[in-house]
Amino acid sequence: MEELRNTFFHTVGYRREEGTPSQGACMNSPRQTESLFFCFPSLHLSALCPLKMRLANAFLLWLLCFVNDGTARGESGDVFTPEWDKQLPECKMDEFRNAFFHTVGCRGFVRVPMEGRTLKQMNRKIDGILRKQRGKNKDKNCVPVRLFYYNETSLIFLRYPDFKKKEEPGFDRTVASWVANLKDQDNDTFIAFPSIDQWKRLGDGYEYEEYEQQENTTGMICEPRNWFYDLEASNFMTFGCGWNSRIPWTDPMLSKEARMGLTVAEYENITKSRDDLYIASSYDGQSLRSYRRYFTYYILLERRDPDAVNEYKETKSRGEDVTLPTGTFCRMRQIKGKYGEQAEAYILPRSRDVPM
């Protein structure tokens, strides 16, 4: 310590409580405090070159926020960084009895049984199906979609415009829905999307900026990717029109709030972009998250303790305020963009009577 004469020790912490948005320039995760420290010379020493020291101090504070911005630390010590996913284990397939995995391609979706397979076997089967379909449809006119629970044997899809192509001739703004009945679909299969006239038209999709410029917005849908299927209203809904609003999700088994897309889980709204880590789907508290690293998406399973989930549901049923328990992450699948695969997935059991 005698070497640090005329020097002060500084530590900085950022904290926010669960369920509240972080304030200020630095962003952190719920119930966590990040501490970093720097040593600055005393004032009389820095007075020799005040401008230089002020610039140095400003740079260090900027660096502190830059390092922490867009980073989250979970209760288990997981850190959402570009290398975070590499440290995650692969998901255990023996837990998924009587369940089916669904992923979306350009012209339809893949449904495969999960039971009796390793994760590698399942992903190779999906790759093969997507590769074959991509070969049949070499044009790159993919239809962006989201998928949601509809009932115990069906999923509902929401198609919306690819706004990256809005300057191209013939750009289609159609927003529409379609229900896929999966009853008795027990084998590996690719189910093609029907022609546009068989979808239920909801309106024309617009991005936030162009929507705000319109005088008459009748029949227009602002930021359709923010829309979700409300299981209580049996209709597509939205919480508002914002370019970076959170992407809503539903869960048919958790609570009325979850059926209405109102539930907010750990790690939501903590990354710089909503597209970096969001819940793509959820069933009985077991969530599939789309995680973006550089230009590649990964499907991660957030596995929650079933007993903790049941306790959450019981507490909710009594009208008490309770937070959805935090889960642990594992790697389920790397999205294959070269085959037209989209960052949407769903795990659906054979029936509601069968636990996932």
Pair 31, 16: CB distance under 8 Å: no
Per-residue confidence (pLDDT) for residue 334, from 0 to 100: 96
Per-residue confidence (pLDDT) for residue 26, from 0 to 100: 33
Per-residue confidence (pLDDT) for residue 109, from 0 to 100: 97
Per-residue confidence (pLDDT) for residue 25, from 0 to 100: 33
Per-residue confidence (pLDDT) for residue 9, from 0 to 100: 53
Q: pLDDT in tens for each of the 356 residues of the chain?
A: 555 555 555 544 433 333 333 333 333 333 333 333 334 444 333 343 444 445 555 444 444 333 333 334 333 334 456 577 778 999 999 889 889 999 999 999 999 999 999 999 999 999 999 999 887 766 667 889 999 999 999 999 999 999 999 999 989 999 999 999 999 899 999 999 999 999 999 999 999 999 999 999 999 999 999 999 999 999 999 998 876 678 899 999 999 999 999 998 877 766 667 788 899 999 999 999 999 888 899 999 999 999 999 999 999 999 999 999 999 999 999 999 999 999 999 999 988 887 77
Contacts of 173 (CB under 8 A, 6+ apart): 161, 204, 205, 206
Per-residue confidence (pLDDT) for residue 110, from 0 to 100: 98
Contacts of 168 (CB under 8 A, 6+ apart): none
Q: Strand, coil or helix: what is 213?
A: coil
How many other C-beta atoms lie within 10 A of the C-beta of residue 93? 19
Per-residue confidence (pLDDT) for residue 105, from 0 to 100: 94
Cα 250 to Cα 298: distance, rounded to the nearest angstrom: 20
Give the DSSP letter string of 64-112.
Answer: HHHHHTT--B-TT--B-STTGGGGSPBP-GGG-TTEEEEEE-SSEEEEE
Per-residue confidence (pLDDT) for residue 141, from 0 to 100: 74
Contacts of 201 (CB under 8 A, 6+ apart): 174, 175, 176
Work out the burial of residue 149: count CB atoms within 10 Å of its CB; fewer than 13 is exposed, 13-18 middle, 19 or more buried.
buried
The single-letter DSSP state of residue 326 is: P
By C-alpha distance, which of 296, 201, 214, 211 is closest to 245?
211
